[in-house]
Amino acid sequence: MRIAFLTATEGVEEIELTDPWKAALNAGWNPQLVSTEAGQVRAYNHLDKAGSYTVDHVLAGDTADAFDALVLPGGVANPDALRTNERAVGFIRSFFEQGKPVAAICHAPWTLVEAGVLPGRTLTSWPSLATDIRNAGGTWVDEEVQVCHGGPTTLITSRKPDDLEAFCTAFVAEFAA
């Protein structure tokens, strides 16, 4: 299974990238780091610079065709940059259009708001996104992990790094289904 991990070039929360990546590898899947530019993605540990990761695939009008599922790591700056990038938003939307599963943690649901895919869906996120999610037609819940089977696309969401174990367990189970 080929899994797209979509990040901006800077600002992804490192543990929200690396823990799900390891979970995908442990499941025997092929994770691919997808970004808006070639080169390296700079991760952060909250506000402190952390590791750099090599981009495997650069967005250029891509859709979900080449991937089986999508993981959206958080961090504040990462989804904020992605939601203003038309290629990234279109890429995310294509997973919903094709009925492929999507997992998003922490601030990453901001990109789902921008993609217009939340009406009728129940999800969780970092609490400061609750109003944005509600305004976009979603139902926000304060849960460690939320799995929404509304429509053809399964959406798995979690609130924060402390929820990573539950998040990884849930998305691996749902992606494998």
pLDDT per residue as tens digits for the range 25-40:
999 999 999 999 999 9
Identify whether 106 is a catalytic site residue.
yes
Parallel, antiparallel, or unpaired for β 40-45 and 69-72? unpaired
Q: Which of 46, 57, 107, 149 is catalytic?
A: 107
Q: What is the pTM of this model?
A: 0.97
Q: Taking Cα atoms as reference points, which of 43, 51, 54, 3 lies closest to residue 24?
A: 3
- pLDDT tops 90 at residue 62: no
Task: Quick: pLDDT tens for 86-96.
Answer: 999 999 999 99
Encoded tokens for 47:
């506000």
Instruction: Please list the residues that pair with 148 across neighbouring strands.
Output: 155
Q: Which of 46, 57, 106, 148 is catalytic?
A: 106
Residues 73, 87: Cα–Cα separation, whole Å: 17
pLDDT band at 149 (very low <50, low <70, confident <90, very high): very high
Residues 110, 169: Cα–Cα separation, whole Å: 22
Can you give the pLDDT at residue 2? 97
Phi, then psi, of 32 in degrees rounded to 5: -130, 125
Identify whether 168 is a catalytic site residue.
no
Can you give the pLDDT at residue 134? 98
The mean per-residue pLDDT over the stretch 122-137 comes to 98
